[in-house]
Amino acid sequence: MPGSLDSFCIGGLLAYGRLYRNKWYQQYVKYRSLFVLFSFLLLIFVHTPFFNNAGKYFYVSFYFLLISVAFGIQIDRVADTVNTPVISAILNNRALLYIGKISYGVYLFHNFIPYLYSINLPVFLQPASMYIAQAVRFALLIGLASLSWYLFERPILRLKDKFVFDKLPADQLISS
């Protein structure tokens, strides 16, 4: 859980800087190459014996924060290359766009897939490698997420256009 909050905060901070082009973000952009190098060095550092042996509480306290900072810097750097033809072609791939559409279902159901590891695969797949078993589980996850999209999410999202929300008059607003 702490890694999720760290990642959320780092992403929010970088998005805020990107949107409003604050002075600190402009400095960050100016030295971005050094930050990317720093992020790779940070990823190497957190996997060294020095960091791992620093103590359980130190490790737990800083591991997710440092990982979040490192990947936040790298994701922010990649976000600048989205308009290049190669990256644009990859991101506009129909399969990736579909996974983006059903991503909430993937998020919801991915935790249940490990429970399927105890279920034996059909006899004809048992001699197959672990990769085939993982592909079957991934296909099952995509199928479950697709069902969720078509049976629940899409119909619920269609309802949002049925409601009209008006702004409250100024005299009904809570003043601060």
Asked whether the predicted pLDDT for residue 85 surpasses 50, the reply is: yes
Instruction: Report d(CA 140, CA 131) in Å as an integer.
Output: 14
Q: Whose CA is closest to 18, among 82, 93, 104?
A: 82
* DSSP assignments along 84-101, one per residue: SHHHHHHHT-HHHHHHHH
97 and 40 within one domain: no
Total domains in the chain come to: 2
19 and 65 within one domain: yes
Residue 127 domain boundaries:
93-162
17-30 per-position pLDDT tens digit: 888 888 988 898 89
Per the CB < 8 A criterion, the answer to whether 117 and 89 are in contact is no
Per the CB < 8 A criterion, the answer to whether 102 and 145 are in contact is yes
Residue 82: phi, psi to the nearest 5?
A: -65, -30
Look at residue 175 and tell me if it is in a domain. no
pTM above 0.85, yes or no: no
